[in-house]
Amino acid sequence: MPTISVDKAALFQELGREYTTEEFDELCFEFGIELDEDTTNSDRPIVDGKQEPPQLKIEIPANRYDLLCFEGIALMLNIFLGRNPLPEYKLTQPARMEQIIVKEDTTKIRPYVAGAILRNIKFDQARYASFIALQDKLHQNLARQRTLVSIGTHDLDTVKGPFTYEALPPKDIKFTPLNQTQEMDGEELMNFYEKHQQLGKYLHIIRDSPVYPVIYDSNRTVCSLPPIINGDRSKISLDTTNVLIEVTALDKTKLDIVSKMVVTMFSQYTLEPFTIEPVEIVSEHNNETRVTPDIAPRTAQAEVSYINQCCGLSLSPAEICTLLTKMAFRAKPSTTSLDIINVEIPPTRADVLHQCDIMEDVAIAYGFNSLPRAFPNISGTVAQPLPINKLSDIVRVETAMAGWSEVLPLILCSHDENFGWLNRKDDGNTAVKLANPKTLEFQVVRTSLLPGLLKTIRENKHHSVPMKIFEVSDVAFKDLSLERKSRNERHFAAAFYGKTSGFEVVHGLLDRVMAMLKTDFLAEGETPKGDSYYIKELDDPTYFPGHAASIHVRIGGKDKVIGSFGILHPTVLEKYELKYPVSSLELNVEAFM
């Protein structure tokens, strides 16, 4: 969730009153944003020789792009408080509409562009800073680090339309980038900004493309090289009065949202507030010729019965409309149906997709904490545990009652811990492997519970011996026959660590658990009455030679190997930095389902 810092005094002035921190926190809570911090009593940084004035740090829901700047927060809170009506955003009708002409090659790299002009805008220090910060927040969030959308803003009086949006080989694009003094071509620019702290991370978006997107004015002045940087020529300043905003994108919906946010938030500072001058996009090759931005409200319908049912209320259509006004909608009961209200969704509210979003806003305006409370009827549902969990609990409880302590290691581990350190080979068909772990600790999903048990012992060497620990949990295996190409398997494992090997102790635990699972020991030559188990000497490099056994069950007349136990091989102990012997046991519990 993005966090926005706003000037406390300025916001309270906009809201027409002072709030205590608690009061403002309460207002935020009801509206659905979160006051993270009020810096009034904190040690604030010195900026330009002056201590920063108190800030309110506010957490914004990730889909409310209209709250990503001071202007939006002030506006929406004022509407929520009933102090301001929703502004009437208007497009002007210029005598000659500015144009951006799109060349077909842009489809190879960044196909969409939109434009808008804020004429006769009045910046001051705070407004200017907010203007830059909003673009930054949009770039970080909705635009996914400029990959999907990027914004360029220009002093319209330094360039001359019509503009062209083109895609050219890097070598052919020459200009002086923002705040630089040297002209460079596209390739040089990439090298120049390679190590740049802010811009370096965006270069990859276009770097390897044979063509780079670029916006020229009619004199072939480069306005911008999206999504990297603007030209120095057209840079805006505090004194700029006419601002050209261009937005380029891979995704048309997000292009539209970003354009709307920037123009609606800052059109309040134009000479005639809330007016925006449109730009014509000429894009014949992909049928995208149109006038931007589209700030017309979207009309949607919401059902009164649906809203009332979900909220547990019985509001009249008119009451619902009044509540919606607080959330920046214009709503009117339908003239044709008693159950319908027509809702105008302003260009600022890109988060509304369905009538459920409108219903939620009715609930917020009413107050979540004021809604009539009920307790949902129990409609004859039957409680029951997952069978494998019930079985696991039997094994867990019996093992704990036998004097063993349950541990809970992690499920992810390193490849070595799962294979090499246990003297096991990876045949490539066993373990699920991670593509993007941040550390070597998390390379595979474990296929055995042993690594976790051995690491737990390693980290508990200060504990008295013997240590007797166990875990009942899932491991996972590759299984290409399944939709998800893998399956979990419930295992039970135990380890004994002490001055003696504990081989018989672990063997005894196996006998005990088998007895509790009503599985009889099958001595050679006997015929079992019910389910039974037997063990056989096992040659396995994980264990000390001659001191390991495989565990076999005979269930429903079928024999199956379900696990093994033994004294761990000293080379295993060495890898796990254990100085005393360990005997371990591991088996698949699912055989007993």
* Residue 449 tokens, joined: 């519970």
Among positions 52, 187, 406, 540, the unique one binding other proteins when judged by CB under 8 A: 406
* Residue 587 tokens, joined: 């088996």
* Residue 398 tokens, joined: 């019996």
Alpha carbon dihedral 570, 572, 575, 576, in 10-degree steps, equals -100
Q: Which of residues 571-590 bind other proteins (CB under 8 A)?
A: 590
* Residue 591 sits in the site that holds other proteins (CB under 8 A): no
Quote the least distance from Cβ 172 to other proteins, whole Å.
Answer: 30
If the CB atoms of residues 89 and 576 are measured against other proteins, the closer one turns out to be 576
Q: Which of residues 194-213 bind other proteins (CB under 8 A)?
A: none
Q: Which of residues 441-460 bind other proteins (CB under 8 A)?
A: 442, 445, 452, 455-456, 458-460
Q: What residue type is assigned to position 43 of the chain?
A: D
* Residue 258 tokens, joined: 């970003």
* Residue 512 sits in the site that holds other proteins (CB under 8 A): no
Quote the least distance from Cβ 282 to other proteins, whole Å.
Answer: 23
The rounded distance, in Å, linking the Cα atoms of 47 and 37 is 19
Quote the least distance from Cβ 437 to other proteins, whole Å.
Answer: 7
* Residue 556 sits in the site that holds other proteins (CB under 8 A): no
Quote the least distance from Cβ 469 to other proteins, whole Å.
Answer: 7
Q: What residue type is assigned to position 558 of the chain?
A: K
Among positions 126, 318, 353, 515, the unique one binding other proteins when judged by CB under 8 A: 353
* Residue 395 sits in the site that holds other proteins (CB under 8 A): no
Length of the chain: 593
Three-state SS at 512: helix
Burial class (CB in 10 A: 0-12, 13-18, 19+), 306: middle
Say if CB 565 and CB 506 are below 8 A apart.
Answer: yes
Q: Which of residues 131-190 bind other proteins (CB under 8 A)?
A: 141, 144, 148
Among positions 291, 388, 516, 561, the unique one binding other proteins when judged by CB under 8 A: 388
- Sequence-ordered alpha helix ranges (H) in 44-155: 70-80, 125-140
Among positions 311, 320, 323, 331, the unique one binding other proteins when judged by CB under 8 A: 311
Among positions 63, 84, 241, 242, the unique one binding other proteins when judged by CB under 8 A: 63
Say if CB 236 and CB 153 are below 8 A apart.
Answer: yes
* Residue 271 sits in the site that holds other proteins (CB under 8 A): no
* Residue 286 sits in the site that holds other proteins (CB under 8 A): no
Adjacent-strand bridge partners of 473: 491
The rounded distance, in Å, linking the Cα atoms of 480 and 11 is 58
Quote the least distance from Cβ 224 to other proteins, whole Å.
Answer: 23
* Residue 359 sits in the site that holds other proteins (CB under 8 A): yes
Quote the least distance from Cβ 463 to other proteins, whole Å.
Answer: 5
Q: What residue type is assigned to position 446 of the chain?
A: R
* Residue 349 sits in the site that holds other proteins (CB under 8 A): no
* Residue 380 sits in the site that holds other proteins (CB under 8 A): yes
Backbone phi, psi, residue 51, to 5°? -70, 135
* Residue 409 sits in the site that holds other proteins (CB under 8 A): yes
